[in-house]
Amino acid sequence: MALFGTKLCSHLSLTRLCGLRTNTITKSLYSPHVSCQSRLPLCRHYSSSQVRRGIGRYVVSKFQSVNAKYEDFLKRRFPRFYHLYHTFKEGVKLMLQDGKEVQRIKMKMFSDGMQYKDLPYRDMEKLRQFRRDIMKAVPLMMISIPPFANYLVFVLMYFFPRQLLIPHFWTPKQQVEFRGLYHSYRVRHHWPVLKGLEKTSQRVKDGQLQSHLKNLCAKVQSGANPKVSEILAVRSLFSGPPLGIRRMSVDQMRHASPLLFLTPRLPGFLIGRRLNSHALELLQLDRALSRLGPHQLSESELRQACYVRGLHSNALGISQSREWLSQWLQVSSALKDSEVSLLLHCIVFLSANYPTAASRH
């Protein structure tokens, strides 16, 4: 590195000397009547902007050369560390790309006077996902700011990748593994949510609605998949008491929070506020997806859409995933903003047994 610094300084000094039009040395050597072009022939070929660009290119090329040697050294001597380093570097690139894309979307919203609910589906999903990713990534980025702290980041990446890193920094194998773990955590709350609904049904005064809700819960608990019409038959119970998004019992809200990967370890009023915000966001996302058409989604987009709504579709075929997403959109397209609590419970109603497996872990 010292040799590199010496060569760089020498090159910069020479370039700077060639770029000067006048200086004290040349004034003492030449008469004032001699032009700069006759004294330094090279000066007429290079402007100051060209010199600056040349310096920039030289610095970048030297940096790239040193970095390539460093990566080659890691790859040969420390292959596991190199894999970690390469994953981190590619993750940073992806984050920067997402940041630029989010900036473009926000500029478009500002210039066109658009609201979040009016955005196209892909732009809305990008904003939603980036906001969650950046909230988790900021602490790790702050740790990596001090000199040499990036090595601590690599250590944390190695030992706690799922807890500390966002999907940008996961390997393909880790993405499959961690999604499965997160989904299993969500599945563990299916049964408590259903038992809570059964308990709440005792407070429903309308006998017909009470019967519909009990039958719906019993059907899901037996391992069957309910019809869209059976779910919509109880929609009125989810707009006010006892199952509205802010009228549910605190215990029911705590059981429902992990369905959206939200922590249940908060005061009741905060849990209700967060559930309402995230459920409304999901409803707006559904409306944007309905405008686009689910058949327009690529395979990765389709599986991501199913995962966000409660279905881990890695073991399912494309046609099964599209069928399930179509059923979900049939329910959400019929709901008002005041009925988002039903959309939240659909994570259990529609995905607990789809396509055949019962969820009673």
pLDDT for position 31: 41
CA 145 to CA 138: how far, in whole Å?
Answer: 11
pLDDT digits (tens, 9 = 90+) for 311-350: 998 889 999 999 999 999 999 999 999 999 999 999 999 9
Task: For residue 118, give the DSSP letter.
Answer: G
* 44 compared with 161, residue with greater pLDDT: 161
Q: What is the pLDDT of residues 210-266, one digit of tens each?
A: 999 999 999 999 999 999 999 999 999 999 889 999 899 999 999 999 999 999 999
What is the average pLDDT value for the chain, to the nearest integer? 82
Q: How far apart are CA 161 and CA 174, in angstroms?
A: 9
Give the pTM.
Answer: 0.76
Q: Return the percentage of the chain with pLDDT > 90, whole number.
A: 57
pLDDT at 4 over 70: no
Q: What digits encode the pLDDT tens for the residues 24-41?
A: 333 333 344 444 444 444
For residue 351, pLDDT beyond 70:
yes
> Where along the chain do its domains lie?
2-77, 79-163, 187-349
The residue-averaged pLDDT of 260-282 equals 94
What single DSSP character describes residue 313?
Answer: -
Which residue matches tokens 């989904």?
Answer: 183
Chain segment 122-150, per-residue pLDDT in tens? 999 999 999 999 888 887 777 777 776 66
CA 36, CA 337: separation in Å to the nearest integer? Answer: 75
Cα distance between residue 330 and residue 350, in whole Å: 12
- Written as one string, the DSSP assignment of 257-306 is GGGGT--S-S-HHHHHHHHHHHHHHHHHHHHHHHHH-GGGS-HHHHHHHH
The string of pLDDT tens digits covering residues 52-105 is: 677 777 776 766 676 677 667 667 776 777 777 778 788 888 888 999 999 999
Q: How many CB atoms lie within 10 A of CB 118?
A: 15
| Paired tokens of 81 | 């560390």
